A and B are shown apart, each in its own frame.
Chain A
Amino acid sequence: MMNDYLNKLEKSLRRMSANERKEIVADYREHFEIGLEAGKSIEQIIASLGDPSELAKMYTALGATNRAHESKGVKDTLHMLGAILRFKVGGGLLIASLYFAALSTMLAAFAAAVGLIGGGLAALGYAVYMFTQGYIAYGFLGIFAGLVLSSGGLLGFIANIKLWKLSVGNLTGVAHKIMQKRVTNNELDIDKG
């Protein structure tokens, strides 16, 4: 029964690193061992510990938030949002929607930039074709259009990357603060049963 509990905990912690998982499970194993030494029954210990999958959600939210805060990477931030939503932290939905809005705006802007670059390359191709056919004026027009389009696209692309880092970093920062406050500081679901 103790192993059932620890296995369930370990399984629910699948989104954490192997190292963290090992440490956390070891904490609860120690708790069981000391409790048994002190003469408590397995049932008593399980009842006083609380539901392992709820505990795992708490750890996952805590771990994901810290990782996202450190790396500010997209993958870590998406993990964090998943953890926040599963843990039903107040404000989680708002942060997630803001983040997805930012994400889709950025993706659209990236697509537009790529489209511009593509258009520019096409125009350059057209220019080369026109030169080979002897239409010099059309060739220069093509080169001009190609350079304008692709440099515009390239600038847009670079600006997007900067903007992306800024907005994602800030949103992760806000999410981290909320998690600190709500999940791990004062809003733990600490009640018995």
Chain B
Amino acid sequence: MNTQFKKGVLNLCVLTLLKKKDAYGYDLAEKMAQSIEIAEGTLYPLLRKLKLDGLCETYLSERSAGPPRKYYKLTQKGIDAQRVLRDEWKTFSTNVNELMEENDDE
């Protein structure tokens, strides 16, 4: 898939997944890798940056078996940022799709 396409929506995708429910890194990495084919390792720097910017926070969740997992949770600032990005994306993708339908004859 075109790298330039992916870069623009990476933030939006992660924020959207986290808005639905708190998640741990592996879970997010796997979902992202399925839908937009990223190297899973690059998701962690992004998560770290989201945390530094105050868009999400982390907590440890104990499990009955095995070590605790680190969960990511959106802050209010993160929820607001998701809303802004989502609206921009919707307008943008609708416009591109319309242009394609009107002009691409295939």
B-binding residues in A (CB < 8 A): 24, 26-28, 30-31, 33-35, 37, 48-50, 52, 55, 58-59, 62, 66, 184-193
Q: Which residues of A contact B8 (CB under 8 A)?
A: 186
From residue A182, how far is it (CB to closest CB) to chain B in Å?
10
Given A30-B70, A192-B37, is A24 in contact with B44 using a C-beta cutoff of 8 Å? Answer: yes
Residues of B within 8 Å of A, CB-based: how many?
28
Tell me which residues across on chain B come within 8 A of A31, comparing CB atoms.
25-26, 29, 40-41, 44
Identity of the chain B residue whose Cβ is nearest the Cβ of A186 in the assembled complex: B7
A184 near B45 with CB under 8 A, answer yes
Asked if B11 is at the interface (CB within 8 A of a chain A CB), the reply is yes
Q: Judging by beta carbons under 8 Å apart, are B70 and A188 in contact?
A: no
> Which residues from 27 to 73 on chain B have a C-beta closer than 8 Å to any C-beta of chain A?
29, 33, 37-42, 44-49, 52, 66-67, 69-70
Nearest A residue (CB) for B50: A184
Which A residues lie within 8 Å of B79 (CB)? Answer: none
CA distance A94 to B25 in the complex (A): 35
Cα A185 to Cα B8 in complex, Å, equals: 8
In angstroms, how far is the closest chain A Cβ from the Cβ of B34?
11
In the complex, are the beta carbons of B41 and A50 less than 8 A apart?
A: yes
- C-alpha spacing A188/B49, complex, angstroms: 12
